[in-house]
Amino acid sequence: MTRRNKMITKIKKLLYETEKIRNIGICAHIDHGKTTLSDNLMAGAGLISSDLAGDKLIMDGKSDEQERGITIDAANATMIQNYHGEEYLINLIDTPGHVDFGGDVTRAMRAVDGAVVVVCAVDGIKPQTETVLRQALKENVKPVLFINKVDRLINELKLDSDELQKRFMKIFMDINKLINSLTPENHDWSLDFSNGSVAFGSAYQNWAINVPTMKETGINFNDIIRYCQNNNTHELASKLPLYKVLLNMVVEHLPSPDVAQQYRVPTIWNGNIDSVEGKTMISTSSEGPPAAMITNVSIDRHSGVISTCRIYGGTLHGGDEVYLVGSKQKARIQQIGIFLGAETIDTGKVPVGNIAYLTGIKDATAGETLCSAENKIEEFEPIDHISEPVVTIAIEAKNTKDLPKLIEVLRQFGKEDPTVKIDINETTGEQLISGMGELHLEVIANRIQNDKNLEIKTSEPIVVYRESILNNAGPVEGKSPNKHNRFYLVVEPLNHNVLNAINSGELKEGRIKSKEISKKFIDLGMGKEESKRVWDIHNKSMFLNMTRGIQYLDEVKELLLDGFESALKEGPLASEEVMGLKFKLVDAKLHEDAVHRGPAQVLPAIKKAIYGSMMLAKPCLAEPIQKVFISAPIEHIGDCTREIQNRRGMMVNQEIIGDVSEMEFEVPVAEMFGFAGDIRSATGGKSLFSTETKGFKILPSNLQDNIVKQIRLRKEISENPNSPEHYLE
């Protein structure tokens, strides 16, 4: 039996030993060494040659990832680690570091129980480090820390032993501060040098060390400095193999599924924990009813739709008929197995606690809940992406005959990446794609052309705005077409605390089913009466019923909320999405005959009241804002500041570290196109920058009218009858 076959045999056995499984994600800021680290772990497991580790970047399997030198898609691998004479199964997901692909990080965190947070020893903690750590802790994922690129501190910055330790201590203290501020209640996940939950080393040179390893080997900081200075890191790697130190740390300090699911399942699953299904998940039983969640979807030209799936209860088999809870349909699993890097191994079945791949579920989407066709369960909590699409491009097929294929390809991208918004106009042939930023959309366009062999034309990037209001207004009457039903709405901007809670995920969007949530609304500053009357939270806006004793209102409640949610998709000002508003129904008059208060009457009436109230409340556009972090030599501070100010940006923070200035700015996304080349020219290539989504901010009043006109012209919105004045008749 070959080594590979022996390993697969061991993996199939370990799939059932949940206490010996570790599901982990590798996450970090861009270019801090995640994928090189993953390479080394796979080499240590025998999945690739150790000579290729660090250079092959096997987890970056697609051509555009290799060309750009960045991870774009999360990638999976399964490996075995021997720890104190026992074998453990490690299911690993390597995640992207670039902010434009943060959606993959969010989805990966739902699949794993622990995270190795990688920080560059030279650069320290960067914005995306905090973002990925926040994503992990929000999903109840426990972290450990690897401080990478220590060789650069020694060979480039010439730090001695004391200076190395000071640098490590600063990173350690800053990470612990973040962990302590974000860790879920009832958990102490503070890192500790002494127990080995922090390691440092060089992924590129294949060595790592932590305090327990120092005690075991007798190697100290002075020895490490000597090895690096003498260019003898091969010997160092043989004494301190990175894969061994890191995977031992993972086994020792990150939880197994049987531990993690006890505290994770109650927070990510909406069902009754005391039910058979709930007990199956809490106890990680492979015998109970199956429960799983699809966390990622990719399209393979040979296998079709490949779903990455975390199994939380029971066992899934190839050939099983499963039920997709969200889309309310049945499907049949063709193959099921585990990932070995770019390769998949069909194991026939995969039990609870593992990350598996599935084929055959053609309508799979990330966030979908799977269960058996006979034993339907409640959905898992939706995956909350911390960013939303802020940039749009229009795509057209160069050849009209390719339009059906382009539409199908775009729908595939929508399935693969829920952070991509696709708006398909099958009549005109124009397709709009909205994404996280320029790079995100550039990658999609390139993949359509190169991977799908479709010739396309793309527009210049277009910024995605939101519609909001500056004042209160109402009551405004909305009449049904038959004039027999009338709704009276008041609108006002949503309380900032409530809006921030929705943005952070503290408040979940959806129709309110329980009055118990009213206490949370009160804590966020809402009045006691209003807090009891929230009917719906949607698109970062609220709908409240402030009426009393209106006959037949309960019978049209769902229609009112359908109309409310539909109206928020396209506002009255420029057909952009609406956000940050509170609509209060204060009165209603309804026809006594149900025939005269159906959807054709209620939906237009409530929409007209919503749009009319907005038009009286001084409607405005909100533009997306990015945080821009620039690191540059002190002599280039003025160059960086001028470049930002020319883009309507402002400095919000600055710190001088040695001869380098670390600056934080806030800049409108609309002004950031072409920034990479301009800042490089302004500083002679001596600056580094990164971005992070900040949210939306009201567009300056002197730009409002012009931007509204541009959007309406681009969207071909006629002045009559869909002009804003139409809603005030």
> What would the pLDDT profile of 410-467 be if each residue is shown by its tens digit?
777 777 776 777 776 655 556 777 777 777 777 777 777 776 777 878 777 888 899 9
Residues 6 or more apart from 3 whose CB is under 8 A from it? 46
Closest by CA position to 448, among listed 501, 496, 495, 394: 394
CA dist 544 and 532 (Å) reads: 9
Residue 378 has a pLDDT of 87
Closest by CA position to 253, among listed 207, 308, 211: 211
Is residue 647's pLDDT more than 80?
A: yes
pLDDT band at 630 (very low <50, low <70, confident <90, very high): confident
pLDDT band at 58 (very low <50, low <70, confident <90, very high): very low
pLDDT band at 261 (very low <50, low <70, confident <90, very high): very high
Helix (H) or strand (E) holding 644: helix 637-645
Mean pLDDT of the chain: 83
Question: Which structure tokens are listed for 162?
Answer: 């004391």
pLDDT digits (tens, 9 = 90+) for 165-193: 888 898 999 899 888 887 877 788 999 98
Q: If you average pLDDT over residues 338-359, what whole number do you get?
A: 86
Q: If you average pLDDT over residues 564-587, what whole number do you get?
A: 92
* Angle between helices 675-682 and 637-645 in degrees, nearest 10: 150
Q: Is the pLDDT higher at 295 or at 603?
A: 603
Which has the minimum average pLDDT: 141-150, 307-316, 367-376? 367-376
pLDDT digits (tens, 9 = 90+) for 203-240: 888 889 999 999 998 898 888 888 888 888 888 888 88
CA dist 311 and 318 (Å) reads: 14
pLDDT band at 662 (very low <50, low <70, confident <90, very high): confident
Residue 427 has a pLDDT of 52
Mapping DSSP to helix (H, G, I), strand (E, B) and coil, where does residue 416 land? helix
Vertex 395, ends 393 and 399: CA angle to 5°?
165
Residue 53 has a pLDDT of 46
Is residue 471's pLDDT more than 90?
A: yes
Vertex 69, ends 64 and 73: CA angle to 5°?
55
CA dist 543 and 536 (Å) reads: 5
Domains of the chain (ranges; CATH) run 3-255 (3.40.50.300), 260-372 (2.40.30.10), 391-461 (3.30.70.870), 467-617 (3.30.230.10), 622-698 (3.30.70.240)
* H helix intervals, 540-623: 553-567, 599-616
Mapping DSSP to helix (H, G, I), strand (E, B) and coil, where does residue 593 land? coil
Residue 57 has a pLDDT of 47
pLDDT digits (tens, 9 = 90+) for 275-295: 998 999 999 998 889 999 888
Among 402-411, 468-477, 718-727, top mean pLDDT goes to 468-477
Closest by CA position to 655, among listed 675, 681, 678, 629: 629
CA dist 580 and 582 (Å) reads: 7
CA dist 622 and 624 (Å) reads: 7
CA dist 569 and 610 (Å) reads: 12
Measuring CA to CA, how many Å separate 596 from each of 145, 243, 273, 452, 591?
64, 70, 44, 51, 6
Measuring CA to CA, how many Å separate 271 from each of 156, 276, 321, 381?
55, 10, 21, 10
Residues 6 or more apart from 611 whose CB is under 8 A from it? 567, 571, 572, 724, 727
pLDDT band at 64 (very low <50, low <70, confident <90, very high): very low
CA dist 724 and 617 (Å) reads: 12
pLDDT band at 725 (very low <50, low <70, confident <90, very high): low
- Residue 110 near residue 140 (C-beta atoms within 8 A): no
Percent of the chain at pLDDT above 70? 88
